[in-house]
Amino acid sequence: MDIFLQQVINGLVLGSVYALVALGYTMVYGILGLINFAHGDVVMVGAFTGLALLKALLAAGTGLPIALAGAALGAVLACGLLGVAIERIAYRPLRHAPRLAPLITAIGVSILIQYVAAILWSKQYLALPAAFTPATWQIGGASVTDLQVLIVLLAGVLMAALLWLIHGTKLGCAMRATEQNAEVAGLMGINTNRVIAATFLIGSALAALAGIMVLLYYGVAHYFMGFMLGLKAFTAAVLGGIGSVPGAMLGGLMLGLIESLASGYIGDFTGGVFGSNYRDVFAFIVLILVLVLRPAGLLGKAQGERA
């Protein structure tokens, strides 16, 4: 079995998920200058609502593809509403407050969502119904499942659609204008509050789909799963250059590959002292290196543009 190819495949899958979540961080940061630390928990809510819907639909006798589509749609709606509600209730009243206030609020929202989910569902790991046994193909000594292909393809389509939305539609133009100068955007007749709400809606919808991908890939959901995933996606956004949409995509994929390859080879390099259970370390090594060596990130804007 070819370890390198296998880790590249795994890294691409992981990276696709990171990229989808990183987009939510970077879009909100671009438009509000705020790190929405509750974003990882929106992913968790996506996984939980997706799981609940999936179980209900399968129990009602629905076929697997339709049950999956229904669960994805339901999770997108639930998370979209949640994202818009978070902005409206928690962040908008603090729009002109000192920066520390919304940051601490974001952490508070994150904890609130985690424990509401724990109460609503469970503090235990919830497993996927047994209906899922992905088909496996062998390619050049590595194995790839149909689920992995689906995740990477869907993430690619979503990212292409997002780029089209941002650069090819009126809403996207309004989003970019609001990001660059919200006051002047208002002078152009743009309802900037609505544009900001749309940004949260889009970011949260992507998070919902990422949550379902994680659920299907690992087979479990847990109320705390958004924490580590959120930190890693945030790292990916910083790696690509926070505020940059293509940066979040690139950063997500790179982080997935780095993590996957590093955890695949760490045993060989350290003579078995460290194993792949140290995989979470690499994201934060990357975060520290980026912050020290290139704080603006790979595709980031020059520093100092925003106060």
Q: Give the interface with other proteins as residue ranges (CB under 8 A).
A: 170, 173-174, 176-177, 180-181, 183-192
User: Smallest gap, in angstroms, from Cβ of residue 168 to other proteins?
Assistant: 11
- The dihedrals phi and psi of 134, each to the nearest 5 degrees, come to -60, 140
List the structure tokens of 253. Answer: 């994929």
Q: Which residue number, 51 or 185, has a Cβ lying nearer to other proteins?
A: 185
Between 153 and 184, CB nearer to other proteins: 184
How far is C-alpha 122 from the geometric centre of its chain's CA atoms?
22
Q: Which is nearer to other proteins, 130 or 302 (CB)?
A: 302
CB 151 within 8 A of CB 13: yes
CA distance 41 to 127: 18
For other proteins, the closer of residues 170 and 272 by Cβ is 170
CB 181 within 8 A of CB 33: no
Q: What is the 3-state secondary structure (H, E, C) of 74-118?
A: HHHHHHHHHHHHHHHHHHHHHCCCCCHHHHHHHHHHHHHHHHHHH
CA distance 53 to 47: 10
Toward other proteins, which CB reaches closer, 54 or 185? 185
The DSSP letter of residue 137 is E
Give buried/exposed letters for 267-295 (b at 16+ CB in 10 A, else e). eeeeeeeeeeeeeeebbeebbeebeeeee
Least distance from other proteins to the Cβ atom of residue 173, Å:
6
Q: For other proteins, give the closer residue by CB, 89 or 188.
A: 188
CB of 91 to other proteins, least distance (A): 18
* Minimum CB–partner distance for residue 301 and other proteins (Å): 8
Letter string b/e over residues 106-131, b meaning 16 or more CB atoms within 10 A of that residue's CB: beebbeebbeebeeebeeeebebeee
Residue 220 exposed, middle or buried by CB count within 10 Å (0-12, 13-18, 19+): middle
Q: Which residues contact 125 (CB under 8 A, 6 or more apart)?
A: 220, 221, 222
Indicate the residue among 122 and 191 with the shorter CB distance to other proteins.
191
Nearer to other proteins, 138 or 303 (CB): 303
> Tokens 């847990």 — which residue?
222
| CB within 8 Å of 276: residues ≥ 6 apart | 263, 264, 266, 267
Closest separation in Å from C-beta 15 to other proteins: 27
Report, in Å, the least distance between residue 27 CB and other proteins: 15
In angstroms, give the least distance from the CB of 92 to other proteins: 13
Shortest reach from residue 26's CB to other proteins, in Å: 15
